[in-house]
A and B are shown apart, each in its own frame.
Chain A
Amino acid sequence: MKLQLNMTVNDEAVNIEVEQDARLLDVLRDDLGLTGTKEGCGVGECGACTVIIDGKTANSCIVLAASMDGCDIKTIEYLSKDGKLNPMQQSFIDNSALQCGFCTPGFVLSGISLLDRNPNPTTEEIKEGISGNICRCTGYEQIIKAVEDVRDKKYVKDGACNE
């Protein structure tokens, strides 16, 4: 039996029928075509499927889609506006903070969420902020540096769009 679901995804109202046991990840990817959200481990450990729900990060692979009724969801697709990247995205590129790129959407959202909550985190706090995301290519140094550069307002005046 399907269930009616009303939610907001990337500022757009979504009214959709979902299976009762569908995961948010599958609804985003398969029904809404938002494939920027990735499935890694599928058990809430790697963070590749990170999205922002009502202002807080969550692993969409362990979120029941049905429970998202009335919720506000933001995915990686939300970030760039009019062809301009979000500062965090630009900083990841400039710092070579990605290799295969599979973990990147999750890291970018965790970084943004951290700075929303704590605009001036220490390196240690940045490490904690991204601790729910795992990268198996680059190592974490460049990723931490990328978040630090956004923290240090390196992108305030250049071309990157500001949220």
Chain B
Amino acid sequence: MLNYFRPKTIKECLEFITDERVYIAGGTDLMVELKKGHDLSNKTVIDLTHIPELSGVKKVYGELEIMACTTHDDIVLNKDVNKCLKALSLACRTVGSPQIRNKGTVGGSVGTASPASDPMPALMLADGRVVIINKKGEMREEKLEDFIIKPGVTTLKNDEMILSLKVKSLEDYKQSFFKIGRRKALAIARLNFAMAILMNNDETIKDIRIVVGAALPVTKRFYDIEKKLIGKKITKEVIEQVSKQISEQVLAIAGPRKSSEYKIPVIRNVINRMLKEMEV
């Protein structure tokens, strides 16, 4: 028999944490697992949806702190996110369907560590960190890149929970998010991209950030490629080169698949399209 708890505060929530804990926020993953026959008996199900402190977005010192149970729809509607991390607004807008966006949370999306998470590339774009609290009330922060180990696995310990996500404000950057799925709505991403660019006055790149997800076991930011682009102008040749490098790295990590041949031209076209959209 499962044990269900519905705490009203974070403090109360921490008291319910046991080794057998399972968190439920939007339930858009867990309820589907339950339907598939996932056994929750003997588990402690902690419902996070009645904790007001766990939802909302705060702006502090050039950063946004997005509380774990903020829904995708809340993010789409949030003015600070729209201003400081447009790519995340765009990404959350592509999640599932209106019904899913109304329930699914950004903390849940990070916690389930799905390789096809749509918010993930946008969060990584902005040096996203996970803020974690344990049963004793001790907090720690970890970079998203380190937090996600492999599909479905994170460094979150049994006595811990995700409190929030912190991202850098990229207010001055031009940003874009692009997703490829089999259909427009309710599609799991096959490939998703987030990009941010800051240009110098002389039309050279001051800073660029490129993240690719879904095609890889773990969403990846391409630091090495980014570094080589600083100071360069965006020319056809540069775009071709970047697309080739990203495609090669994606294929090297993911291994050859039936879809590999299709992915290289797609990556090139997507990068072109995103640059055009950002008007750089």
Tell me which residues across on chain A come within 8 A of B32, comparing CB atoms.
43-44, 62
Tell whether A131 pairs with B34 under 8 Å between CB atoms, given A20-B2, A62-B27. no
Contact B28 A44 (CB under 8 A): yes
* Interface: A110 (CB within 8 A): yes
Tell whether A132 pairs with B99 under 8 Å between CB atoms, given A3-B4, A62-B28, A64-B31. yes
Tell me which residues across on chain A come within 8 A of B2, comparing CB atoms.
20-21
Residue of B at shortest CB range from A110? Answer: B98
Contact B27 A1 (CB under 8 A): no
Tell me which residues across on chain A come within 8 A of B59, comparing CB atoms.
none
Tell me which residues across on chain A come within 8 A of B40, comparing CB atoms.
21
Partner among A57, A63, A114 whose Cβ is within 8 Å of the Cβ of B27:
A63
Tell whether A50 pairs with B99 under 8 Å between CB atoms, given A66-B6, A67-B6, A132-B185. yes
Tell whether A132 pairs with B96 under 8 Å between CB atoms, given A45-B186, A62-B27, A63-B103. yes
Tell whether A131 pairs with B31 under 8 Å between CB atoms, given A20-B45, A21-B40. no
Binary contact readout A54-87 vs B (1 if CB under 8 angstroms, 0 otherwise)? 0011110111101101100000000000000000
* Interface: B73 (CB within 8 A): yes
Tell me which residues across on chain A come within 8 A of B34, comparing CB atoms.
21
Kindly state the interface size class of chain B when it binds its partner: 20 to 34
Query: Chain A's nearest CB lies how many Å from the CB of B97?
Result: 3
Residue of B at shortest CB range from A132? Answer: B97
Query: Chain A's nearest CB lies how many Å from the CB of B86?
Result: 18
Partner among B3, B24, B50, B98 whose Cβ is within 8 Å of the Cβ of A131:
B98
Residue of B at shortest CB range from A114? Answer: B98
Q: How far is the CA of A113 from the CA of B98 in the complex (A)?
A: 10
Q: How far is the CA of A45 from the CA of B35 in the complex (A)?
A: 13
- A/B pair count, beta carbons within 8 Å: 85
* Interface: B169 (CB within 8 A): no
Contact B6 A56 (CB under 8 A): no
* Interface: B274 (CB within 8 A): no
Count of interface residues, chain A, beta-carbon cutoff 8 Å: 32
Query: Chain A's nearest CB lies how many Å from the CB of B198?
Result: 31
* Interface: A129 (CB within 8 A): yes
Tell me which residues across on chain B come within 8 A of A145, comparing CB atoms.
none
Q: How far is the CA of A64 from the CA of B2 in the complex (A)?
A: 13
* Interface: A105 (CB within 8 A): no
Tell me which residues across on chain B come within 8 A of A113, comparing CB atoms.
98
B residues 1-53 with Cβ under 8 Å of A?
1-4, 6, 24, 27-28, 31-32, 34-35, 40, 45, 47, 49-50
Tell me which residues across on chain A come within 8 A of B49, comparing CB atoms.
67
Tell me which residues across on chain A come within 8 A of B232, comparing CB atoms.
none
Q: How far is the CA of A43 from the CA of B99 in the complex (A)?
A: 12
Binary contact readout B161-198 vs A (1 if CB under 8 angstroms, 0 otherwise)? 00000000000000000000000111000000000000
Tell me which residues across on chain A come within 8 A of B99, comparing CB atoms.
44, 47, 50, 57-59, 110, 132
**A-B CB contact pairs (8 Å), 25 listed:** A20-B3, A21-B40, A43-B32, A44-B28, A44-B32, A44-B100, A56-B102, A59-B99, A61-B31, A61-B35, A62-B28, A62-B103, A63-B27, A63-B31, A64-B27, A66-B6, A67-B27, A69-B50, A70-B50, A110-B99, A113-B98, A114-B98, A128-B98, A131-B186, A132-B100
Interface residue ranges, B against A (CB under 8 Å) = 1-4, 6, 24, 27-28, 31-32, 34-35, 40, 45, 47, 49-50, 73, 96-100, 102-103, 184-186
Known: A20-B3, A57-B102, A64-B24. 16 other contacts (CB 8 A): A1-B1, A44-B96, A44-B99, A47-B97, A53-B102, A59-B100, A62-B35, A62-B103, A64-B27, A67-B50, A69-B50, A70-B50, A113-B98, A114-B98, A131-B184, A132-B185
